[in-house]
Amino acid sequence: MKKVIVFLTLCVSSICLFAQQTTQQQVQQPRPPQWNPASTEWYTPVPPTVKPGSSMGQPPSDAIILFDGKDLSKWESSRPIPADSERGRRPDPAPWKIENGAMVIVPGSGGIQTKEYFGDCQLHIEFKSPPAENYNGQNRGNSGIFLQNTYEVQVLDGDNNPTYVNGMVGSIYKQSAPSANAYTKNGEWQVYDIYWKAPKFDRNGLVEPAQITVALNGIVIQNHFTLKGDTPYTGLPSYTPHGRLPLSLQDHGTAVAFRNIWIRNL
Ligand code: MG
């Protein structure tokens, strides 16, 4: 009997010792993270409060108003300054006219650009094509919205106006046709909302290409498209390093009207 008691005591001691060693080993092992709902929540930095406009399309509280229907004070001519000009001379004033709360292209006067420079941005801009008359294709209501003075979102009459699809309204000119023709009717205002991620460059050239999402009349027609470079009429796109640059609007010889232009830096 005594032997049995001694044997059992030895067994219990061994088990306890083994359990203790196992616990120590477990403590030394790296533990998996102890997840709880709060583990994946953060509280700072708190995003700023931005008040929406009074109706869809109206500028929110933090937008830079580029055109409110009254004047062209935020714009200037995009014609190059002659090389023999005095140093530091500003470009000429924007040569377009104001009519009924809209800025209207004066054909042949040249494009215009913002005085302010932009990078990543959200842009709202509305346009109206002039009467179709006898013009067709690229000659009917052609203009363009050039992000950073370089990358064109095409402005064109899209009302029964066939042309090459990578040059129709809503195209990233000669790079990407829109996924839909969301243009309504000639004579009606068309609404662009454009979300722009600027290309990034370093000393050796391109690091990250530009990306764009475009909605026309609330319909997404370019979904996070990655640009191959600039948008030339002839030849292939390529990148030339740049920083922040003006937004510009094209004079392509037709009296397209623009209104309610605002932008948010992103
Ligand atoms: Mg154009």
- What would the DSSP string read from start to end of 67-97? E-SS--TTEEE-SPPPTTSPTTPPPPBP--E
What is the per-residue burial (b if ≥16 Cβ within 10 Å, else e) of 203-216?
eeeeeeebbbbbbb
209 found inside a domain = yes
Ligand 1 center to residue 69 CA distance, Å? 23
What pLDDT score was predicted for residue 27?
A: 55
Ligand 1 center to residue 212 CA distance, Å? 17
* Coil/strand/helix, residue 147: strand
6 found inside a domain = no
Ligand 1 center to residue 59 CA distance, Å? 25
What pLDDT score was predicted for residue 17?
A: 47
Count of domains forming the chain: 1
Q: Could you tell me the residue range of the domain that residue 191 belongs to?
A: 65-81+90-265
What pLDDT score was predicted for residue 128?
A: 98
Pairwise CA distance, residues 154 & 170, whole Å: 6
124 found inside a domain = yes
Q: What's the CATH code of the domain at 105?
A: 2.60.120.560
Ligand 1 center to residue 139 CA distance, Å? 9
DSSP state at residue 30: P
2 found inside a domain = no
49 found inside a domain = no
25 found inside a domain = no
Question: How far is residue 183 from each of residues 157, 171, 180, measured CA to CA in Å?
Answer: 8, 12, 9
Ligand 1 center to residue 144 CA distance, Å? 4
CB–CB of 120/266 below 8 Å? yes
Mean pLDDT, the chain cut into blocks of 10 residues (266 residues total)? 53 49 58 86 90 92 98 96 84 96 98 98 98 95 98 98 97 97 97 98 97 97 98 98 98 98 98
149 found inside a domain = yes
Ligand 1 center to residue 142 CA distance, Å? 5
Ligand 1 center to residue 261 CA distance, Å? 18
Ligand 1 center to residue 73 CA distance, Å? 23
115 found inside a domain = yes
Q: What is the pTM of this model?
A: 0.85
What pLDDT score was predicted for residue 16?
A: 44
Ligand 1 center to residue 132 CA distance, Å? 16
